[in-house]
Amino acid sequence: MTTEKQTEEQRKDDLERLQRLLLGDDHSRLNLLDKRVSDFESRSNDVAEVLPDAFERIANDPVLEAELEKPMMRTIRASIKRDAPAFAEYLFPVMGPAIRRAVADALKSLVQRINVAMENSFTIKGLRWRLEAARTGVPFAQIVLRHTMRFAVQEVFLIARDTGLVLAHAHRDENLVLDEDAVAAMLTAIQSFIQDSLGMSSDDPLRSAELGNRTLWVINGPEAILACVISGSPPRALRDELMALLESIHARYGERFTENNDTFAKDIGLRVLMQQSLREELDDQQAVSKRGKAYIYWAIAISLLIALVAWKSWQEYQQREFESRVVELFKSQPGYVVSSSRRQNGILLIDGLRDPGTATPVSLLNDQGLTDQGLQFRFKPFLSLEPGLTLKNLRTSMGLTDSTGLALNGGTLLVDGALSGNQAERLTRLAGVHPLINAVDLSGTSLSGEEALQLARIQLGAPDSVEMTPVDGRIAVSGKSSVSWYLEKSGTPQVFGGWKVDFGPLLGELKNAVRTSVGQLDGTEVFFMQRDRLSPESTLTLDAFAQQLSGLQNASTPLGIDLTITLVGHVDGIGTAQQNEQTSRKRVKVVRDSLISAGVDPQHIQSEHPAWSSGNENLSQRRVTVRVTGKDRS
């Protein structure tokens, strides 16, 4: 064993000497390197030294980045699976801000779309866009945004170069009509067709095509192409960006292009890259100028609207004013009663009553300078009691001329001026018949004597026993009448057509009649039996006498004749003076009471008790003598 060990050491020494001879100084450097590699700490330091540079290189190299992504993703997934709560805790501080930012970005985009849509909603172009939205079924905001974009990549197809099949697809517009595979294949066919038709090789691919405001850019890669549908005017730099994107897709996913399944198309990384290709840039200047123009359009539109509203309001106000004026006119017009007024189908219907004696509605309106256009009247006839209209109607119905004046004072119709025919008589008949006329005063009129006489007789209701005679411009009334008639008619001055009625002659005759009656009643005897017991005859006649006397007194007093009634009591002369005086007084009292009870005024009744002669018994003296005298009141 010792010999073997020694041999081994000898061999090592020999080898080292040989290495020194062959390598010289490099031998010691190799030893150092060996030691450095074998030493864990030294090796860790070396890796740490180069790691930052290595990561930077990875970041700049898509292929390395893609290669590194796979193990890193696996590691991260495994770690999350193993300890999900810990990851949630780590992510918590960044999730809030991230979500807020995402929401803010989404809202910003939404607000931008709303703003642009609002700003363009009332321009002529906006209306055109609205029509486009209706025609295509694309939301209006999206149409507006599309037009106000400097450019926007609307749709991107990642197409396998050889098969023409869609590898991935991203788009803004949700309303795709056609199958994406069919569209991509057709694009490929078109490209082939152009190459073939123009005799170009497949190395000279179609790069762009323009249709309307859309541009088709074909970004060609070795295995796949990006077909981008762009609205607006895309800048040159966009092509470079898209090219870089396609290169990145090739680098990451080139090997998977042949997979031809959904898994590849749904790869999150690929989808993110495809979404990134949907670039857009808003044309700020256009949007700003649109905004300015939109304000002008808005201002014009609002002004027009205000003007229209003001004009309509003014028209309405004018119409209302006119209608109000018309209604007020008829309401204030005598002989018109407006019960209702309402507008119907643009016509003002006025319902009410109208006295036929009034002017027609149209002539009334014309007098006020108004037209009856847009008005319809439904007045029913009625008799108005308006004094003015009543007089007017009377004038018409009576055939009175302008020389005859009519007026109403209280319930009295005052007539003056000339009357003819039976006008006076007809007018007087209105009293008590017409609702407004209780009396007719014709004192202001001028009539012939005959007319005045006729009118006076009717007006005064004179009995046939009364005579009326025109004498010297007055009508003398004479003959016989009741005192009451005389008193009633003569109480107020009566004038007919300028003829004053003179009741003087009638009064004289009435007084004479009173005096005659006084003479007839004076000296009437009322006989008694024993003491104050009336005789049978007087019992029968006393009441009638009392009534007569009372009537006479009532008639004479207003005629200015004051009656004095003196009751003289007589006795038969038997008995004592005291007894006889008592008897006399009792008998006078019986008569007096009877007269008073019949209505004779006691103030005008006097009593006398003449002296009696004792011993001269005369039973016929048992009486009361009634003396009646009349005296004109001065």
Partner 1 sequence: MRTAKVCMVGAFGVGKTSLVRRYIHQQFDESYHTTLGVKIDTRVVDNIEKPIKLVLWDMEGADPFEKDKRPLARIRSYMKGAHGLILVADGTRPATVKTALGLYHDFCREFQYVPAIMLANKADLTAEWRFDDSVMPDALTLYHTSALNGQNIDAAFTALGKALSEL
Binding site for partner 1 (CB under 8 A): 160-166, 178-179, 181-182, 185-186, 189-190, 192-193, 195-197, 202, 260-262
User: With respect to partner 1, which residue has the nearer C-beta, 198 or 268?
Assistant: 198
User: With respect to partner 1, which residue has the nearer C-beta, 168 or 419?
Assistant: 168
Cβ atoms of 184 and 229 closer than 8 Å? no
* DSSP assignments along 71-93, one per residue: HHHHHHHHHHHH-HHHHHHHHHH
**Alpha-carbon distances, residue 195 vs 22, 187, 192, 198, 204 (angstroms):** 67, 12, 5, 5, 7
User: With respect to partner 1, which residue has the nearer C-beta, 112 or 195?
Assistant: 195
Pick the closest to residue 264 from 196, 338, 165 (CA basis).
165
**Alpha-carbon distances, residue 544 vs 202, 516, 585 (angstroms):** 161, 18, 22
Q: What three-state secondary structure class fits 316?
A: helix
Q: Supply the minimum distance, in Å, between the C-beta of residue 261 and partner 1.
A: 6
Q: Supply the minimum distance, in Å, between the C-beta of residue 104 and partner 1.
A: 38
Structure tokens at 284: 């700020």
Q: Tell me the residue type at 576.
A: T
The total of other beta-carbon atoms located within 10 Å of residue 35's CB is 10
Pick the closest to residue 332 from 376, 374, 364, 363 (CA basis).
364
Q: Supply the minimum distance, in Å, between the C-beta of residue 226 and partner 1.
A: 17
User: With respect to partner 1, which residue has the nearer C-beta, 182 or 272?
Assistant: 182
The total of other beta-carbon atoms located within 10 Å of residue 10's CB is 10
**Which H or E run contains 265?**
helix 262-265
The gap between the terminal CA atoms of the chain, to the nearest Å, is 204
Identify how many contiguous H helices and E strands the chain contains and give both numbers: 20, 20
Q: Supply the minimum distance, in Å, between the C-beta of residue 175 and partner 1.
A: 16
The answer for residues whose C-beta is within 8 angstroms of residue 29's C-beta and 6 or more apart is none
| Vertex 200 angle, CA 198 and 202, to 5° | 135
User: With respect to partner 1, which residue has the nearer C-beta, 117 or 229?
Assistant: 229
User: With respect to partner 1, which residue has the nearer C-beta, 197 or 345?
Assistant: 197
Q: Supply the minimum distance, in Å, between the C-beta of residue 158 and partner 1.
A: 13
The answer for residues whose C-beta is within 8 angstroms of residue 361's C-beta and 6 or more apart is 330, 350, 354, 372, 375, 377, 379
User: With respect to partner 1, which residue has the nearer C-beta, 186 or 370?
Assistant: 186
Cβ atoms of 442 and 456 closer than 8 Å? no
Q: Supply the minimum distance, in Å, between the C-beta of residue 220 and partner 1.
A: 15
Structure tokens at 285: 């200047």
User: With respect to partner 1, which residue has the nearer C-beta, 161 or 609?
Assistant: 161
Q: Supply the minimum distance, in Å, between the C-beta of residue 165 and partner 1.
A: 5
User: With respect to partner 1, which residue has the nearer C-beta, 163 or 319?
Assistant: 163
- CB neighbour class for 271 (10 Å; exposed up to 12, middle 13-18, buried from 19): middle
Q: Supply the minimum distance, in Å, between the C-beta of residue 195 and partner 1.
A: 7
Q: Supply the minimum distance, in Å, between the C-beta of residue 156 and partner 1.
A: 17
Q: Supply the minimum distance, in Å, between the C-beta of residue 199 and partner 1.
A: 10
User: With respect to partner 1, which residue has the nearer C-beta, 166 or 475?
Assistant: 166
User: What are the residues facing 15 on neighbouring strands?
Assistant: none
What is d(CA 146, CA 139) in angstroms, rounded to the nearest whole number? 11
The answer for residues whose C-beta is within 8 angstroms of residue 79's C-beta and 6 or more apart is 87
Q: Supply the minimum distance, in Å, between the C-beta of residue 126 and partner 1.
A: 33
User: With respect to partner 1, which residue has the nearer C-beta, 83 or 196?
Assistant: 196
The answer for residues whose C-beta is within 8 angstroms of residue 522's C-beta and 6 or more apart is 626, 627, 628, 629
